[in-house]
Amino acid sequence: MFAASLLFLALEAAADLFQPGFMALIVDKGVSSASPAAILRYGGVMLGVAAAGALAAVMRNWLSCRTSQLVAAELRAGLYAAVQRLPLEAAGRLGTPSLITRVTSDVSQVQNFIQGCMRVLVKAPMTCVGAVAMIAFQAPERLPVLGCVVLAALALTALNMKLGYARFGAVQEKMDALNGASRGFLASVRTVRAFGAEEREASRFAAAAGELRSASVRAMRLTAAFMPLINLTANFGILALLYQARVQPGSGVGGLMASLSYMTQILFSLTMFSGLFDRAVRANVSASRIAEVIDSPRENRPARPLHLDGTGAVEFDHVSFAWPGAKAEALSDVSFSLSAGETLGVIGPTGAGKSTLALLIPRIYEPTSGTVCVGGADASLLDPAELRQAVALVPQKSLLFTGTIMENLRWGREDANLDEVREAARAACALDFIEALPDGFGTRLGQGGVNLSGGQRQRLCLARALLRRPRVLVLDDCTSALDAETESRVLAALRQQTGVTVILISARVCAVRKADRVLCLENGRVLGLAPHELLKRDCAEYRAICRSQIGGDIDG
């Protein structure tokens, strides 16, 4: 389609080039000679050529629009797929606002350039060179004027590109910042209103919008300056041709009219070409930003992956992990093993590394050193899809999607029937409140589940994880919004999940005390690993946590 559009573009350019020549013949051989036959003959040919050019232009427009849209659609799909495969370290480095800009605005810049190529790439140089050739054929003495005009226009275009690259790059960076400000406000609109900080957020957004405006103005000033300069150069050329025709009479009025028409075509071609280069600068900046995502290292996928042994055994063997740029390790030399069906409680103060531990099991992040084994195999050698099908992670923040409750629950298992969905909801103590809603499982949720309470969102996320029938269930403080009675019922239901290895992360002793063993962490290090009673006896830090939460009677 791209090649076909260029072919029609060439036909359109050829038709445009023939028009001034036929006009010169009509004037010199028809009008000057008072020959109606010549006027009709050359006029009919000129009309036929114009009709052919118009048809070619229609086909070129249709093909260029369709091609650019298809390219943009495929590019966005490929870029989104690349984002899905990015390691989270790379995604965090690039930032969500920047990724949104690359998928939307940057792709649009490339799309506009591709469409501009199919409109200008062949036509502008072909028209320019063809017009110069036609003038050289008709009046060679006018070539010096044309040469000066073309060289001056090319020099201005090159300078425009050189100065414009950095400025249009700054525009895209400011667009990232504006998206970040917008996303930050929309994601925390309740908190902003609760603190009465609307004016402060409006000021932040206005500042980001002002920086984008300033960067855009600085970039567009180049176009505003260079385009008129190119037009002025070409108009000087037209004046020079008129003066030259006065002192050096040429082939007649028709020839002069043709030369002026060709000069106008040259002016139009240079203007279009300069505009294309202006788009090229923007597209080049955007293409480099898109390539940064597409060329980023992908998540490690073994060429010959191992497979799970069918159990939910989990083992950490001297595992350490440090966040990029952090001075200290989030986890340091952590070791423990769980047999299939066991429950491990993980407790510790804020910043102990509990959530980091949870993220290493399904390979959301890779350990800095050591080995995480799931189902009897090194997790780094497993197929990520198989690993994550076996491991269900319920994070601290309840993440729900816009759609119905049923669609959210089936997110990880689309083929689940209604009975299975109801059973998972019952196990998460969510069935009662779902059925109490007017539309039940068909109730639509707003973005992030804003029309539900925190505890209801947590129970839906837990039900969604249970519906997957995982071998390993990692619960990262996902009952923090529940009242004590509901949390107790949820934990009791989880203990009835036979054959499922449960890793229960919590800051509350009452949530982990009935686990088979409790792992106590502090500053990323293991302070103790034992059943509740033994750990309370042998680990002073865990005993202090129990005393602070349960009271003086730590044996209770």
Place of tokens 């001297």: 318
Task: For residue 456, give the CATH number of its domain.
Answer: 3.40.50.300
Name the band, by pLDDT with cuts 50, 70 and 90, for residue 248.
Answer: very low
Structure-token match 């180049």, residue found? 222
Output the CA angle 229-151-239, nearest 5 degrees: 60
Residue 421 per-residue DSSP state: H
In a domain, 309, yes or no: no
pLDDT for the residue numbered 245: 64
Same domain, 67 and 27: yes
**CATH number, domain at 67?**
1.20.1560.10
Residue 200 has pLDDT above 90, yes or no: no
Mark whether 372 and 503 lie in a shared domain. yes
Q: Which of 167-181, 215-229, 269-283 has the lowest mean pLDDT?
A: 269-283
Q: What is the pLDDT of residue 556?
A: 46
Tokens of 164: 């414009």
Same domain, 363 and 220: no
Q: Please tell me the total count of domains within the chain.
A: 2
What was the pLDDT predicted at 283?
84
In a domain, 307, yes or no: no
What is the mean pLDDT of the segment spanning 339-345?
91
Q: Are residues 384 and 287 in the same domain?
A: no
pLDDT surpasses 70 at 317: yes
Percent of the chain exceeding pLDDT 70 equals 91
Question: Average per-residue pLDDT in the chain?
Answer: 82
Summarised one tens digit per residue, pLDDT across range 482-515 is: 777 888 888 888 777 777 899 999 988 888 888 9
Does a structural domain hold residue 528? yes
Look at 256-265, 359-368, 380-389, 437-446 and tell me which has the smallest mean pLDDT. 256-265
pLDDT band at 256; cut points 50, 70, 90: low
CB count within 10 Å of CB 29 equals: 17
pLDDT category of residue 369 using cuts at 50, 70 and 90: very high
Q: Give the pLDDT confidence score for residue 554 in this predicted structure.
A: 47
Assigned domain for 377 exists: yes
Last residue of a domain, one of 294, 325, 340: 294
- Residues 86 and 58 both lie in one domain: yes
Q: Which of 42-56, 88-102, 176-190, 298-312 has the highest mean pLDDT?
A: 42-56
- Structural domain ending residue among the three candidates 236, 259, 294: 294
Mean pLDDT along residues 434-448 = 87
Domain hosting residue 526, numbered range: 314-550
Q: Which residues are CB-neighbours of 257 under 8 A, at least 6 positions away?
A: 20, 23, 24, 27
pLDDT at 535: 92
pLDDT-based confidence at residue 521 (cuts at 50, 70, 90): very high
Query: Do residues 25 and 41 touch, judged by C-beta distance below 8 A?
Result: no
355 and 477, same domain (yes or no): yes
Q: Are residues 57 and 190 in the same domain?
A: yes
Residues 378 and 506 in one domain: yes
The structure's pTM equals 0.67
* CB distance 204 to 186 below 8 Å: no
In a domain, 384, yes or no: yes
Give the count of beta carbons closer than 10 Å to the beta carbon of residue 552: 7
Within-domain flag for 300: no
* 132 and 234 in a common domain: yes
The answer on 496 and 423 residing in a single domain is yes
CB atoms within 10 A of CB 280: 18
Domain boundary among 261, 294, 327: 294
Q: Which segments within 307-456 are labelled E, that is strand?
A: 314-321, 331-338, 343-347, 369-374, 377-378, 391-394, 403-404, 444-445
- Same domain membership, residue 192 and residue 45: yes
Whether 334 is in a domain gets the answer yes
Asked if residues 379 and 372 have their Cβ atoms less than 8 Å apart, the reply is: yes
- Position 32 in a domain: yes
Is the same domain home to 229 and 169? yes
